[in-house]
Amino acid sequence: MEETQNKILNRREFINAFMGTSILASLGLFFSYFLRFLFPPIRHKRYRKLYVTQTKDIPSGKSLKVKDLKGQSINIVNTGKEFIALSTKCSHLGCNVIWKDREKKFFCPCHDGYFDAEGNVLSGPPPKSLSSYEVEVVNESIFIHVDEVNLGNA
């Protein structure tokens, strides 16, 4: 009789200990997610430097269209003062913008949107500037910095 009661007590103790441990583990997991929600980890953007071309290949006032590693088109413009890299996707509905040499502007044929050489909206429906990329010129070589997230390597 006493032995049976001991077994029952042991079983109860085991179940209580198991439930206590489970509740503590659940609370610990909950608080760790809650803390992550309150203080999300800081992720620094990582860029990859891509070689584009030589400076002599883009005369002043001209543009060169290149593709990044993911196949997205980028316009490199020589404004005469600097090189600027801009996405070819219009900020309105994503049509491809075209560089107009004579006017030194980007034109979006879908809804007659215009952007200046730095990608700022001049007229039309686009709500914001063209996305830009950082450009670096080293020893006459042009490089652009592409966000690694856009390359799918993050």
Residue ranges binding ligand FES (CB under 6 A): 90, 92-93, 95, 108, 110-111, 113, 124-126
Of 73, 84, 117, whose CA–CA distance to 99 is shortest? 117
Taking the least distance from each CB to ligand FES, the nearer of 50 and 90 is 90
Buried b (16+ CB within 10 A) or exposed e, 76-95: bbbeeeebbbbbbbbbbeee
Order across the sheet with 63-67: list the strands: 47-54, 141-147, 132-138, 83-87, 73-78, 63-67
- Closest contact distance (angstroms) between CB of 152 and ligand FES is 25
Taking the least distance from each CB to ligand FES, the nearer of 61 and 125 is 125
- Closest contact distance (angstroms) between CB of 116 and ligand FES is 15
Strand partners, 135: 144
Judge whether 55 and 140 are in contact, CB under 8 Å.
yes
| Residue appearing with tokens 């500037």 | 129
- Closest contact distance (angstroms) between CB of 146 and ligand FES is 23
- Closest contact distance (angstroms) between CB of 47 and ligand FES is 27
